[in-house]
């Protein structure tokens, strides 16, 4: 099969197994050379949403940095009827293969993490093959959620709330900077987004594993979030997704009250804005990320998911510092005043004529294609390849 990139809007409909495998190998290499082991490493790690982006980086750091047994959950699809598998499928397949080569325990469950069936399957695997979970990473980004108790299907929206938002925006396909007017979400849309991306499912996971006695004493759980600068607040922090992220933080606080006596500690970690399948769907944000990339690359502070997560795991296994609102902050370099002043200066003057000088459009596009395994100079994309990926240690539900 010859696999070509087929980009449609903010998704790529194809994925390249060899390119995805190379992405995973590069991330493992980074972990192996940059993560210093301490005595306080997690032994059994569950990553919900562990097949792409921040979750995959978490699974790789747990496995190759901490030598932990790792179980991942993701919503991924096998190749079918001439379609390639999803990038997350190929990433996981590569992760499992490299883990197995080093004699490590790693497994992936592909199914709907919101369902009771998935939680039961994970609990069975944990109890029969792993022991108790001491770190649960919650890294889901989903457009919808079928509620396991009520059967209601919730759709999330990425909209401002309260009033419309007028902003500069980059049309990635053409490089044109236009002005977009985003209409505010209704209260119902905001509540639906909270139902999908808020903390209810995170809490259900913790309650379920706790009832089954599958959380170790002093277990930690972390969910990922974002805040960003003022000029993206209308679409992120103060928008529907921000409301869901506030619910996630409220959930962490309530988990700490309800499960604190068992030693569980729940955290929300604020991560840097990066190109992932989830973030490329948010209006306005790709222009911000492109400007940010240019500034951070020039100041040598640019990180990808793996650098961010290695830095997070160093904190987790040594000293966890929280800001005054109780967040772990990994967006510190992004939110540095010098960086943000320069982003704001460029944001005010950026237009179609100067965007290539002020923003790293090529870096954005290249990172986007890389998510799907494309754009590696060392790979011959004209070559007919065997599409079949390793399915050992994969459980489909």
Pick from 44, 84, 169, 276 the residue near ligand NAD by CB under 6 A.
Answer: 276
Q: What is the CA radius of gyration of the chain?
A: 20
Interface region with ligand NAD, contact rule CB under 6 A, candidates 30-38, 53-61, 207-215, 384-392: 53-61
Q: Cα–chain-centroid distance for residue 243? A: 18
Q: Shortest approach of ligand NAD to residue 156 CB, angstroms?
A: 11
Using CB under 6 A as the binding rule, whether residue 201 contacts ligand NAD is answered as no
DSSP run (H or E) holding 101 = helix 87-101
**Nearer to ligand NAD by C-beta: 73 or 216?**
73
Q: Shortest approach of ligand NAD to residue 372 CB, angstroms?
A: 11
Cα distance between residue 363 and residue 15, in whole Å: 19
Using CB under 6 A as the binding rule, whether residue 51 contacts ligand NAD is answered as yes
Q: Cα–chain-centroid distance for residue 372? A: 14
Using CB under 6 A as the binding rule, whether residue 200 contacts ligand NAD is answered as no
**Nearer to ligand NAD by C-beta: 224 or 368?**
224
Window 140-169: residues binding ligand NAD (CB under 6 A)? 140-142
Q: Shortest approach of ligand NAD to residue 261 CB, angstroms?
A: 28
How many residues line the site for ligand NAD (CB under 6 A)? Answer: 29
Q: Cα–chain-centroid distance for residue 167? A: 25
**Nearer to ligand NAD by C-beta: 329 or 376?**
329
Q: Shortest approach of ligand NAD to residue 60 CB, angstroms?
A: 13
* Cβ atoms of 236 and 226 closer than 8 Å: yes
Q: Tell me the residue number closest to ligand NAD, measured at CB.
A: 53
Give the pairing of strands 176-182 and 165-171. antiparallel
CA 279 vs CA 14, 43, 236, 380: distances in Å:
18, 30, 11, 28
Structure tokens at 391: 């399915």
Using CB under 6 A as the binding rule, whether residue 274 contacts ligand NAD is answered as yes
Using CB under 6 A as the binding rule, whether residue 202 contacts ligand NAD is answered as no
Pick from 41, 76, 133, 221 the residue near ligand NAD by CB under 6 A.
Answer: 76
- Which amino acids are annotated catalytic? 236
Answer positive or negative: Cα dihedral of 153, 155, 161, 163. negative
Q: Cα–chain-centroid distance for residue 250? A: 20
Q: What angle, rounded to 10 degrees, do the helices at 240-259 and 200-211 form?
A: 20
- Write out the residues near ligand NAD by the rule CB under 6 A: 49-55, 73-76, 88, 112-114, 139-142, 224-226, 271, 273-274, 276-279
């Amino acid at each position: 099969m010859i696999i070509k990139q087929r980009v449609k809007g903010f998704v790529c409909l194809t994925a390249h197994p060899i390119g995805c495998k190379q992405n995973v190998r590069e991330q493992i290499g980074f972990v192996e050379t940059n993560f210093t082991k301490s005595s306080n490493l997690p032994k059994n790690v569950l990553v919900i949403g562990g097949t792409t982006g921040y979750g995959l980086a978490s699974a790789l750091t747990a496995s190759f940095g901490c030598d932990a047994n790792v179980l991942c959950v993701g919503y991924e699809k096998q190749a079918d009827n001439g379609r390639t598998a999803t990038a997350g499928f190929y990433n996981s397949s590569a992760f499992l293969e490299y883990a197995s080569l080093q004699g490590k325990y790693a497994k992936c469950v592909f199914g709907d993490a919101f369902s009771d069936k998935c939680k039961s399957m994970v609990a069975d695997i944990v109890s029969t093959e792993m022991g108790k979970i001491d770190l649960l990473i919650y890294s889901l980004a989903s457009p919808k959620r079928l509620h396991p108790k009520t059967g209601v299907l919730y759709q999330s929206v990425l909209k401002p709330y309260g009033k419309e938002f007028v902003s500069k925006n980059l049309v990635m396909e053409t490089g044109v900077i236009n002005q977009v007017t985003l209409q505010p979400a209704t209260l119902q849309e905001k509540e639906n987004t909270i139902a999908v991306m808020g903390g209810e499912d995170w809490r259900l996971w913790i309650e379920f594993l706790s009832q089954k006695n599958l959380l170790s004493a002093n277990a930690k759980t972390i969910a990922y979030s974002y805040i960003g600068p003022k000029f993206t607040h209308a679409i992120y922090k103060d928008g529907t997704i921000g409301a869901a992220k506030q619910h996630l933080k409220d959930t962490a606080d309530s988990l700490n009250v309800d499960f604190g006596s068992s030693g569980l500690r729940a955290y929300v970690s604020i991560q840097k804005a990066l190109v992932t399948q989830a973030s490329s769907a948010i209006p306005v944000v790709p222009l911000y990320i492109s400007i940010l990339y240019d500034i951070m690359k020039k100041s040598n502070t640019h990180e990808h998911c793996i650098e961010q997560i290695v830095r997070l795991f160093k904190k987790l296994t040594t000293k966890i510092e929280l800001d005054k609102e109780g967040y772990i902050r990994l967006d510190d370099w992004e939110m540095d005043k010098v960086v943000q002043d320069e982003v704001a200066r460029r944001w005010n003057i950026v237009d179609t004529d100067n965007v290539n000088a002020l923003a790293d459009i090529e870096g954005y596009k290249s990172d986007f294609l890389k998510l799907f395994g494309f754009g590696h100079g060392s790979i011959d994309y004209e070559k007919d390849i065997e599409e079949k990926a390793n399915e050992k240690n994969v459980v489909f539900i």
